[in-house]
Amino acid sequence: MQASARTDVGLVRSVNEDDYLIGDGVFAVADGLGGHEAGEIASQMAIRMLKEFKPPENGDPAGALAEALEGINRAVYKRSVADPSCEGMGTTLTVLLITGDTAYIGHVGDSRAYLVRDGRLHRLTEDHSIVGELIRMGMLSEPEARAHPQRNLLTRAIGTQPDVEIEVGYCKLGPGDRFLLCTDGLTGAVDDGEILRVMASAQDPRSAVDQLVELAMRGGGHDNITAVAVFLDLP
Protein backbone atom coordinates (compact mmCIF):
# COMPACT_ATOMS: atom_id res chain seq x y z
CA MET A 1 0.00 0.00 0.00
CA GLN A 2 1.25 3.46 -0.94
CA ALA A 3 -0.32 6.87 -0.33
CA SER A 4 0.32 10.46 -1.30
CA ALA A 5 -1.36 13.81 -0.76
CA ARG A 6 -1.34 17.28 -2.20
CA THR A 7 -3.06 20.45 -1.04
CA ASP A 8 -3.19 23.87 -2.71
CA VAL A 9 -4.72 27.19 -1.72
CA GLY A 10 -6.07 27.59 -5.26
CA LEU A 11 -6.22 30.75 -7.33
CA VAL A 12 -8.82 32.77 -5.41
CA ARG A 13 -8.56 32.17 -1.65
CA SER A 14 -5.80 33.77 0.43
CA VAL A 15 -5.82 31.08 3.17
CA ASN A 16 -5.83 27.31 2.85
CA GLU A 17 -8.48 26.00 5.23
CA ASP A 18 -8.02 22.39 4.10
CA ASP A 19 -5.94 19.84 5.97
CA TYR A 20 -5.19 16.14 5.50
CA LEU A 21 -3.74 13.08 7.19
CA ILE A 22 -1.65 10.18 5.95
CA GLY A 23 -1.16 7.87 8.92
CA ASP A 24 -0.72 4.19 9.71
CA GLY A 25 -3.78 2.84 7.91
CA VAL A 26 -5.71 6.06 8.61
CA PHE A 27 -6.17 8.72 5.93
CA ALA A 28 -8.34 11.84 5.94
CA VAL A 29 -9.22 15.19 4.41
CA ALA A 30 -10.87 18.14 6.16
CA ASP A 31 -12.26 21.37 4.72
CA GLY A 32 -12.75 24.11 7.30
CA LEU A 33 -15.52 26.67 7.32
CA GLY A 34 -15.96 29.90 9.25
CA GLY A 35 -14.72 33.47 9.03
CA HIS A 36 -11.55 35.08 10.38
CA GLU A 37 -9.48 31.98 9.53
CA ALA A 38 -11.54 29.95 12.02
CA GLY A 39 -12.09 27.30 9.36
CA GLU A 40 -8.36 26.68 9.31
CA ILE A 41 -8.42 26.15 13.08
CA ALA A 42 -11.34 23.71 12.83
CA SER A 43 -9.76 21.54 10.12
CA GLN A 44 -6.39 21.51 11.88
CA MET A 45 -8.04 20.54 15.18
CA ALA A 46 -9.89 17.67 13.51
CA ILE A 47 -6.78 16.28 11.84
CA ARG A 48 -4.62 16.73 14.93
CA MET A 49 -7.11 14.80 17.06
CA LEU A 50 -7.51 12.12 14.39
CA LYS A 51 -3.76 11.48 14.52
CA GLU A 52 -4.31 10.06 18.00
CA PHE A 53 -6.93 7.56 16.80
CA LYS A 54 -5.95 3.90 17.06
CA PRO A 55 -8.37 1.27 15.75
CA PRO A 56 -9.15 -1.50 18.24
CA GLU A 57 -7.24 -4.75 17.77
CA ASN A 58 -10.37 -6.61 18.81
CA GLY A 59 -13.81 -5.12 18.55
CA ASP A 60 -15.73 -2.88 16.21
CA PRO A 61 -13.60 -0.61 13.97
CA ALA A 62 -16.68 1.12 12.53
CA GLY A 63 -18.01 1.93 15.99
CA ALA A 64 -14.61 3.12 17.17
CA LEU A 65 -14.27 5.38 14.12
CA ALA A 66 -17.72 6.89 14.68
CA GLU A 67 -16.91 7.45 18.35
CA ALA A 68 -13.65 9.19 17.41
CA LEU A 69 -15.44 11.56 15.02
CA GLU A 70 -18.10 12.29 17.63
CA GLY A 71 -15.33 13.24 20.07
CA ILE A 72 -13.73 15.51 17.48
CA ASN A 73 -17.11 17.14 16.87
CA ARG A 74 -17.55 17.89 20.58
CA ALA A 75 -14.04 19.35 20.87
CA VAL A 76 -14.41 21.63 17.84
CA TYR A 77 -17.85 22.77 19.00
CA LYS A 78 -16.54 23.47 22.51
CA ARG A 79 -13.73 25.61 21.05
CA SER A 80 -16.17 27.51 18.82
CA VAL A 81 -18.36 28.36 21.83
CA ALA A 82 -15.49 29.29 24.15
CA ASP A 83 -13.50 31.45 21.72
CA PRO A 84 -15.38 34.41 20.15
CA SER A 85 -12.94 34.48 17.21
CA CYS A 86 -13.97 30.89 16.39
CA GLU A 87 -17.73 31.39 16.63
CA GLY A 88 -19.59 29.30 14.08
CA MET A 89 -16.54 27.44 12.82
CA GLY A 90 -16.69 23.86 11.61
CA THR A 91 -15.15 21.46 9.15
CA THR A 92 -15.92 18.58 6.86
CA LEU A 93 -14.12 15.37 7.74
CA THR A 94 -13.79 12.27 5.56
CA VAL A 95 -11.72 9.39 6.92
CA LEU A 96 -10.49 6.15 5.37
CA LEU A 97 -9.47 3.43 7.84
CA ILE A 98 -7.83 0.33 6.37
CA THR A 99 -7.53 -2.57 8.77
CA GLY A 100 -7.24 -6.25 7.89
CA ASP A 101 -9.17 -6.93 4.69
CA THR A 102 -11.65 -4.08 5.15
CA ALA A 103 -11.83 -0.36 4.42
CA TYR A 104 -14.04 1.77 6.68
CA ILE A 105 -15.22 5.27 5.76
CA GLY A 106 -16.22 7.84 8.38
CA HIS A 107 -17.75 10.99 6.91
CA VAL A 108 -19.41 14.32 7.68
CA GLY A 109 -19.83 17.14 5.13
CA ASP A 110 -19.22 17.37 1.40
CA SER A 111 -15.66 16.17 1.04
CA ARG A 112 -15.70 12.80 -0.71
CA ALA A 113 -14.27 9.30 -0.75
CA TYR A 114 -14.01 7.32 -3.98
CA LEU A 115 -12.97 3.77 -4.82
CA VAL A 116 -11.61 2.79 -8.23
CA ARG A 117 -11.97 -0.95 -8.88
CA ASP A 118 -11.96 -2.89 -12.15
CA GLY A 119 -12.02 0.30 -14.19
CA ARG A 120 -15.05 1.78 -12.45
CA LEU A 121 -15.43 4.71 -10.06
CA HIS A 122 -17.53 4.17 -6.95
CA ARG A 123 -18.48 7.12 -4.74
CA LEU A 124 -18.37 5.92 -1.14
CA THR A 125 -19.90 9.00 0.50
CA GLU A 126 -22.93 11.24 0.10
CA ASP A 127 -22.59 15.03 0.14
CA HIS A 128 -24.19 16.44 3.27
CA SER A 129 -25.18 19.65 1.51
CA ILE A 130 -28.18 21.48 0.06
CA VAL A 131 -27.24 20.60 -3.51
CA GLY A 132 -26.49 17.02 -2.48
CA GLU A 133 -30.05 16.70 -1.21
CA LEU A 134 -31.40 18.21 -4.43
CA ILE A 135 -29.39 15.73 -6.53
CA ARG A 136 -30.69 12.78 -4.51
CA MET A 137 -34.24 14.07 -4.99
CA GLY A 138 -33.69 14.24 -8.75
CA MET A 139 -34.13 18.01 -8.83
CA LEU A 140 -30.56 18.85 -9.84
CA SER A 141 -27.87 17.27 -12.02
CA GLU A 142 -24.18 17.00 -11.09
CA PRO A 143 -23.12 19.66 -13.66
CA GLU A 144 -25.87 21.98 -12.40
CA ALA A 145 -24.75 21.42 -8.81
CA ARG A 146 -21.21 22.60 -9.54
CA ALA A 147 -22.58 26.02 -10.57
CA HIS A 148 -25.44 26.26 -8.06
CA PRO A 149 -25.37 29.40 -5.82
CA GLN A 150 -25.98 27.24 -2.72
CA ARG A 151 -23.32 24.65 -3.53
CA ASN A 152 -21.30 25.54 -0.42
CA LEU A 153 -24.16 25.26 2.08
CA LEU A 154 -23.75 22.16 4.24
CA THR A 155 -26.52 20.32 6.04
CA ARG A 156 -24.04 18.64 8.38
CA ALA A 157 -20.50 19.48 9.55
CA ILE A 158 -18.06 18.74 12.35
CA GLY A 159 -18.22 21.29 15.17
CA THR A 160 -21.24 23.40 14.22
CA GLN A 161 -23.57 21.63 16.67
CA PRO A 162 -22.93 19.80 19.97
CA ASP A 163 -23.94 16.51 18.33
CA VAL A 164 -23.65 15.32 14.73
CA GLU A 165 -24.74 12.24 12.81
CA ILE A 166 -21.68 10.37 11.54
CA GLU A 167 -21.97 8.48 8.26
CA VAL A 168 -19.97 5.22 8.48
CA GLY A 169 -19.64 2.62 5.74
CA TYR A 170 -17.29 -0.17 4.80
CA CYS A 171 -16.20 -2.38 1.93
CA LYS A 172 -14.00 -5.44 1.62
CA LEU A 173 -10.66 -4.76 -0.05
CA GLY A 174 -9.91 -6.10 -3.50
CA PRO A 175 -6.63 -6.49 -5.39
CA GLY A 176 -5.57 -3.28 -7.08
CA ASP A 177 -8.09 -1.08 -5.23
CA ARG A 178 -7.39 2.65 -5.41
CA PHE A 179 -8.97 5.13 -3.00
CA LEU A 180 -9.29 8.90 -3.30
CA LEU A 181 -10.25 11.34 -0.56
CA CYS A 182 -10.77 14.92 -1.67
CA THR A 183 -12.33 18.25 -0.76
CA ASP A 184 -14.92 20.05 -2.85
CA GLY A 185 -12.28 22.32 -4.37
CA LEU A 186 -11.47 19.28 -6.50
CA THR A 187 -14.93 17.85 -7.15
CA GLY A 188 -16.37 21.29 -7.85
CA ALA A 189 -13.94 21.70 -10.76
CA VAL A 190 -13.28 18.14 -11.98
CA ASP A 191 -16.05 15.72 -12.92
CA ASP A 192 -16.19 12.03 -12.02
CA GLY A 193 -15.15 10.95 -15.52
CA GLU A 194 -11.87 12.85 -15.28
CA ILE A 195 -11.29 11.59 -11.74
CA LEU A 196 -11.70 8.01 -12.97
CA ARG A 197 -9.37 8.58 -15.92
CA VAL A 198 -6.59 9.94 -13.70
CA MET A 199 -7.01 7.47 -10.86
CA ALA A 200 -7.13 4.46 -13.19
CA SER A 201 -4.16 5.48 -15.33
CA ALA A 202 -1.76 7.03 -12.82
CA GLN A 203 1.41 5.08 -12.19
CA ASP A 204 1.47 5.91 -8.49
CA PRO A 205 -0.43 7.98 -5.88
CA ARG A 206 1.87 11.01 -6.25
CA SER A 207 1.16 11.22 -9.96
CA ALA A 208 -2.57 10.89 -9.30
CA VAL A 209 -2.84 13.73 -6.77
CA ASP A 210 -0.58 16.00 -8.84
CA GLN A 211 -2.70 15.49 -11.96
CA LEU A 212 -5.98 15.99 -10.10
CA VAL A 213 -4.91 19.20 -8.40
CA GLU A 214 -3.59 20.57 -11.69
CA LEU A 215 -6.94 19.79 -13.35
CA ALA A 216 -8.77 21.65 -10.57
CA MET A 217 -6.45 24.63 -11.01
CA ARG A 218 -7.15 24.65 -14.74
CA GLY A 219 -10.85 24.53 -13.89
CA GLY A 220 -10.52 27.88 -12.11
CA GLY A 221 -9.00 27.03 -8.71
CA HIS A 222 -11.92 28.80 -7.04
CA ASP A 223 -11.46 26.97 -3.72
CA ASN A 224 -8.77 25.24 -1.70
CA ILE A 225 -7.95 21.86 -3.26
CA THR A 226 -6.85 18.74 -1.39
CA ALA A 227 -6.49 15.14 -2.56
CA VAL A 228 -5.24 12.00 -0.82
CA ALA A 229 -4.70 8.89 -2.98
CA VAL A 230 -4.16 5.40 -1.57
CA PHE A 231 -3.13 2.59 -3.91
CA LEU A 232 -3.16 -1.08 -2.92
CA ASP A 233 -1.03 -3.79 -4.52
CA LEU A 234 1.19 -1.67 -6.73
CA PRO A 235 2.91 -3.71 -9.46
Cα–Cα distances in Å, from 124 out to 63, 94, 147, 192? Answer: 18, 10, 23, 13
Contact yes or no for 40/16 (Cβ under 8 A): yes
214 burial via Cβ count (<10 Å: 0-12, 13-18, 19+): middle
Sign of CA pseudo-dihedral 129, 132, 134, 137: negative
DSSP letter string, 41-92? HHHHHHHHHHTT----SSS-HHHHHHHHHHHHHHHHHHHHHH-GGGTT-EE-
pLDDT in tens, 94-139: 999 999 999 999 999 999 999 999 999 999 999 987 776 676 777 6
pLDDT of residue 150: 64
Tell me, yes or no, if the pTM score tops 0.85. yes
Higher pLDDT, 209 or 135: 209
CA gyration radius, the chain: 17
Q: What is the pLDDT of residue 137?
A: 72
pLDDT tens, position by position, 56-89: 888 899 999 999 999 999 999 999 999 999 999 9
Average pLDDT for 1-27: 96
- Beta strands (DSSP E) in the chain are 2-8, 18-22, 26-33, 90-91, 93-99, 102-108, 112-117, 120-123, 167-172, 178-182, 225-231
